[in-house]
């Protein structure tokens, strides 16, 4: 039995665990936890179902493994927003990083969206803990920038929500957007649009 908790040791273990997680990301992100089946994941990974369960204790364990690093990765762009940088540039860079994540990791975005949509049964603690603390911290930074007149005075929480909404929408609603844009790649015009939007939004009134 491979070490479930520790790090995979042999090359074959590492390779198969990666195969499984890659396949599981595909399946979980498009069907949600309940809607996904081990047979789908096994088939997508090119392994047999018992072989899957040789590397992971259960369906839950595969999902948990995927989720464990997800929130951290997802919040990294916000974490990097520097309180000592130039406010507008910092926020725009944050938006840009976040949009880039939607472009490069749409499956991860949908995995996250699925979890939240379904009431975040396996992540609520992390939202109320890790996520809330980071947001509270950055809200204080934003408030300071607003008080200093460096950016427009807005509700800082909803400002952050608007970044999430606008950027993640391109990953989560990809199918809908592409149905409307026909051939054009959404990400051709999206970066310019969201940058313009936040520039106008953040420009101080005075």
Residues forming the site for DNA (CB under 7 A): 1-2, 10, 12-13, 16, 36-40, 47-51, 53-54, 57-60
**Binding-residue total with a copy of itself (CB under 8 A):** 53
d(CA 130, CA 152): 27
Fill in the per-residue mask, 93 to 132: x = in contact with a copy of itself (CB under 8 A), - = not in contact. -----------------x--xx-xxxxx---x--xx--xx
Q: What count of other Cβ atoms lies within 10 Å of the Cβ of residue 113?
A: 17
In the complex, the smallest distance separating the C-beta of residue 67 from DNA, rounded to whole angstroms, is: 15
Binding to a copy of itself in span 160-199, by CB under 8 A = 161-162, 164-166, 168-170, 172-173, 175-177, 179-182, 189-190, 192-194, 196-197
SS3 50: helix
- Supply the DSSP symbol for 167: H
Told to check if 140 binds a copy of itself by CB under 8 A, we report: no
- The closest of 202, 191, 203 to 95, measured between CA atoms, is 191
Q: At what angle do helices 87-104 and 59-79 cross, to 10 degrees?
A: 150
CB 92 within 8 A of CB 198: yes
- The closest of 77, 81, 17, 76 to 52, measured between CA atoms, is 17
Interface contacts to a copy of itself, rule CB under 8 A: 30-35, 110, 113-114, 116-120, 124, 127-128, 131-132, 135, 152, 154-155, 157-159, 161-162, 164-166, 168-170, 172-173, 175-177, 179-182, 189-190, 192-194, 196-197, 200-201, 203
């Amino acid at each position: 039995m491979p070490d479930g908790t520790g790090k995979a040791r042999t090359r074959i273990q590492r390779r198969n665990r990666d195969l499984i997680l890659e396949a599981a990301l595909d399946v979980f992100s498009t069907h949600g936890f309940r809607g996904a089946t081990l047979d789908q994941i096994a088939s997508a990974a090119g392994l047999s179902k018992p072989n899957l369960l040789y590397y992971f204790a259960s369906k839950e364990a595969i999902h948990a493994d995927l989720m464990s690093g997800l929130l951290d990765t997802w919040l990294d762009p916000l974490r990097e927003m520097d309180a000592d940088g130039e406010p507008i540039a910092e926020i725009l860079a944050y938006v840009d990083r976040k949009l880039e994540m939607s472009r490069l990791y749409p499956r991860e975005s949908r995995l996250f969206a699925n979890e939240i949509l379904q009431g975040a049964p396996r992540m609520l603690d992390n939202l109320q803990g890790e996520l809330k603390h980071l947001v509270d911290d950055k809200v204080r930074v934003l408030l300071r920038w607003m008080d200093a007149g460096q950016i427009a005075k807005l509700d800082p929480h909803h400002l952050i929500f608007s970044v999430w909404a606008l950027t993640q929408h391109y990953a989560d609603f990809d199918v809908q957007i592409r149905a409307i844009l026909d051939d054009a790649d959404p990400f051709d015009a999206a970066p310019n649009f969201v940058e313009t939007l936040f520039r106008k939004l953040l420009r101080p009134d005075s």
